[in-house]
Structure 1
Amino acid sequence: MIPFNKPYMTGDELYYIKDAVARGKISGNGYYTQKCHSYFQEHMGFRNCLLTSSCTDALEMAAILIDIMPGDEVIMPSYTFVSTANAFVLRGAKIIFADSYPDNPNIDANGLKGLITSKTKAIVVVHYAGIACDMDMVMDLANTYDLFVIEDAAQAIDSYYKGKPLGTIGHLSAFSFHETKNIISGEGGMLVVNDEHFDKRAEIIWEKGTNRSAFFRGEVDKYSWVDIGSSFLPSDVTAAFLYAQLENLEKIQSRRRKLWNTYYEDLNDLEKKGLLKLPEVPNYSTVNGHLFYIICNNKKERSNLIAFLQGYNIHPVFHYLSLHKSPYYSKENDLLSLPNCDNFADRLLRLPLYYELDREDQNRIIALINTFVKRIK
């Protein structure tokens, strides 16, 4: 069987977990948490970061930090995971869904200006598949209308926009280390704080609304409840696992990019013949090898291709359903017309891509896609 995803272990995860236990502190913000923070600051240029238990937690922290209140409007793509919306809905925000580009699942920056009202407080961008959104256009709009920008960079570790690491451009950003991501800790995430005005409060929210971290640094003589917050920080055991992954980031990324490029090069003839479409990568973005997708000609064709590949024990999967059509959202909102988003929801198919996917299995996947597509034409 060729699964869609297989978590990769570098070999040092258990060693570092054992070391974390031996150090006698396995709760949050321990030795390995600090090592991970330092790694991201030194190697990625993140000015301030806080590990979290999930990317969802990081997004929820962002919503608290920008003081989302009931009635505030937050613009985001409809083609995204539910956590992107939930984090702001929990604070009372009204979500304003935007369409994707015709040739790219990312939020269509050209349509954002028409969605901004006097109630708009933030724009949330999602760098789908690790491919950058048009951040210059987004940031220009945010500066013009005094809005916050949050980067949902769950899939975007080690990917760049015009040479800048994704996650360093908006006011805040959120990353994921879920087992399906490039760098993993089972569950896990991180909030990146790019605006220094959020630094102190972010740490307080992270520590359940207390100034506990400041107390342990000797900055206050006792710690107490000073703000809202929650238990967002992960165990140091989780951080120890993550640190083993970070030490191998370059090796992991090199392998994943190679797999991505092989898919693209070997399926390119099918795109040239109009039999399917491949990912569109703008010239301002890099590729981080997070996922590789193809666009089938219609929903039925995608379903048939999934069934065909599963018949050979290969397990591709489609991705998001349009959030603006979800039962939760549509019960209180008129149905929007976001045709590009719906197009990706109906036609996009993700192919197996993981570190240990060997060339023989990848060739098999590619050959079977060729067989299927040519057979139906």
Structure 2
Amino acid sequence: MISFNVPAFTGRELYYIKQAIENNKLSGDGEFTAKCSKWFEENYKCKKALLTTSCTHALEMAAILLDINEGDEIIMPSYTFVSTANAFVLRGAKIVFVDIRPDTMNIDEKKIEEAITTRTKAIVPVHYAGVSCEMDTIMQIAKKYNLMVVEDAAQGVNSYYKGKALGTIGHLGCYSFHETKNYNCGEGGALLINDDRLVERAEIIREKGTDRSKFFRGQVDKYGWVDIGSSYLPSELNAAYLYGQLENAEQINQNRLASWQYYYEHLQDLFENGDITLPVVPNNCSHNAHMFYIKVRDLVERTELIKYLKDRGIGAVFHYIPLHSSKAGQSYSIFHGEDINTTKESEALLRLPLYYNMEKTIIKKVIEAIRSFYLDKNRGVQFERHYFSGR
């Protein structure tokens, strides 16, 4: 069976986990947490990077930091993971979905401004597949209406927009290190703070609402409860595993990009024949090969192709069901404007196996299976046309 995903492993992870155990420091904010945070701050030039237990928790921290309250409105795409919306719904906000672009599957920046009201508090762009949203336009809109921007860059670690790392452009950025991501520690995340005004409070929220971080730096002689918060610290074991991957970040990145490019080049014939659509990466974006997807004609064809691949031992999967069509989405959100692309494009999208150190022979098998599917399908269509035209 060709797995859809295999978590990245470089070999250094076990060495660092052993070191963390020998240091007798397994809870959060130890040596490896500090090393990971420093890696992001130095490589991506953000003000502050705080490791969290998940991207979900990073988003929840962001919602608290922005003082989201009952009745506030948050603009985002419906084509995203539930955590993007949940983080703000938990604070009492109403989610306002707008349509996506069919080329990148990202929020349509041209639809944002017309969805803004006096209750709008923030815009949450989601960088789908590690390809950036049109951030210049989004930041200009945010500045015009005095709104905050939280980048959901769960899939965007080591991707760039006009030379800037995703997660460092908005006021806040959120990363995921789930096992399905390019760099993982099983479960984990990070909150990047790019606005000086938010740094101190972010530390407090992450430390259960206490000024414990100040205490450890010797800035106060004792720490206490000063704000709301929760326990968002990952263990040192998670941080140690992650650091082993960050040390090899470029190696992992180049390896995945090579696999992505191989898919792209060797599926061109199906694209040129009109059978599938291939991913689009705008010129001002540098992506991280987080996933390789194709788009087929419709939901029926996608279902057929998934089964065809599964029967041949290949794991290929669809992605999000748009949140506005879900039961909770109907209670906590509205869709502003017309759903022209969100549902239609999401029903056509199929993700192919892609992971670190994926052998080229495996990619070839996937490509050949897809090619075989369309060869059989097109032969069937031609036969049907010939048969009925002959009658």
Q: Report the TM-score, using the length of structure 2 for normalisation.
A: 0.95
1:116 match: 116
Q: 1:244–1:352: structure 2 CA closer, same or farther, 3 Å change rule?
A: same
2:366 match: 365
Matched letter for residue 11 of structure 1: G
1:259 match: 259
SS of the residue aligned with 1:179? coil
- The question of 1:180 aligning with 2:168 is answered no
**What CA deviation, in whole Å up to 9, does each residue of 1:103-137 have, x standing for no partner?**
22100001111100000000000000000000000
8 Å Cα contact 1:44/1:165 also seen in 2: yes
1:149 match: 149
2:29 match: 29
SS of the residue aligned with 2:229? coil
**What CA deviation, in whole Å up to 9, does each residue of 1:200-251 have, x standing for no partner?**
0000001000001101111111100000000001111110010001011111
1:192 match: 192
Matched letter for residue 360 of structure 2: R
- The question of 1:64 aligning with 2:64 is answered yes
1:326 match: 326
1:50 match: 50
2:167 match: 167
Alignment of 1:224-243 (within 5 A): 224-243=224-243
2:92 match: 92
8 Å Cα contact 2:89/2:332 also seen in 1: no
Q: Provide the C-alpha distance between the structure 1 equivalents of 2:222 and 2:269, rounded to a whole number of angstroms.
A: 66
Structure 1: gaps of 5 or more residues: none
Q: Report the TM-score, using the length of structure 1 for normalisation.
A: 0.98
Deviation, 1:344, is: 2.5
2:81 match: 81
Q: Provide the C-alpha distance between the structure 1 equivalents of 2:315 and 2:206, rounded to a whole number of angstroms.
A: 38
Deviation, 1:374, is: 2.5
2:203 match: 203
- Segment drifting more, 71-80 vs 330-339: 330-339
- Segment drifting more, 43-52 vs 135-144: 43-52
8 Å Cα contact 1:160/1:286 also seen in 2: yes
Q: How many residue pairs are counted as aligned between the two chains?
A: 377
Deviation, 1:334, is: 6.6
Q: Provide the C-alpha distance between the structure 2 equivalents of 1:142 and 1:111, rounded to a whole number of angstroms.
A: 13
2:4 match: 4
Higher Cα Rg, which structure: 2
Matched letter for residue 70 of structure 2: P
Deviation, 1:335, is: 6.9
Alignment of 1:215-226 (within 5 A): 215-226=215-226
1:355 match: 356
Runs ≥4 in structure 1, deviation > 4 angstroms? 331-336
8 Å Cα contact 1:129/1:155 also seen in 2: yes
Matched letter for residue 15 of structure 2: Y
User: Percent identity of the aligned residues?
Assistant: 54
SS of the residue aligned with 1:70? coil
